[in-house]
Amino acid sequence: MKFGVIIFPGSNCDHDAFWTIQQVAHQPVTFLWHESHDLENCDAIIVPGGFAFGDYLRTGAIAKFSPVMESVRRFVDGGGLVLGICNGFQILCESGLLPGALMRNVGLKYVCKPVQVRVENVSTPFTNTCALGEVLTIPIGHMEGNYFCDPATLNELHRDNRVVFRYATPAGEISASANPNGSLDNIAGICNAGGNVVGMMPHPERSSEPALGGTDGMKVFHSMVGAAVPST
């Protein structure tokens, strides 16, 4: 399975994602420049964290106009897998590939720490190696991770089982105390209607090796690899 990691001016987690795919997941991976339309025959695209275009205007508001995102939209329409991490989640929302928006954290402070997220949907290509209700410990690092959408969109996300991760306590309880940024309904990650696009604020690439303090994040990448393997 070949992965592509997009690089925007200001991306700072692109090499982390590249390393995780190449050295930990042992899959082919290439960098994709934001000015190129060529996705280089990749099977999955990662929109990494960072500060694309310095987060000027709004997070992701400029990145959505990059030529590569035109190709990503066509790729998604064809069923291709796309994972947006942190700033990547913000870009996917700005691009219309996911609903809602990411606003400033409640408290207006940058938050960087390990958090627990509960897996709410194991039917996606990004969570098929997880158990429903499983609690994963994955770090966050963001200023604008406060997910918001209108009531109709929230109802649609619930109805179609499109909330993939929610912030939780280590025991798996969904509570205000477990919510690091004020995100609506404790949402930490969602998918599109087709299930082939996921955006998440936590950084799975930062919990991919024991040296990083945990390996829970690798379940996301192993799920993606497994989803591309034909059943026999």
Active site residue ranges: 86, 203, 205
Cβ(140)–Cβ(112) under 8 Å?
Answer: yes
For tokens 């959408």, name the residue: 149
CA separation for the pair 11, 3 (Å, rounded): 17
Task: Give the Cα separation of 204 and 165 in Å (integer).
Answer: 12
Alpha carbons 90 and 92: distance in angstroms, whole number = 5
State how far the alpha carbon of 3 is from the alpha carbons of 18, 46, 82, 147, 191, in Å: 9, 7, 10, 27, 19
Let me know the angle formed at the C-alpha of 145 by 184 and 37, rounded to the nearest 5 degrees: 120
Q: In what order do the strands lie in the sheet with 163-168?
A: 29-33, 3-7, 44-47, 81-85, 197-200, 187-191, 163-168, 111-119, 135-142
Provide φ and ψ at 135, rounded to 5°: -105, 125
Nearest to 119 by CA among 153, 168, 86: 168
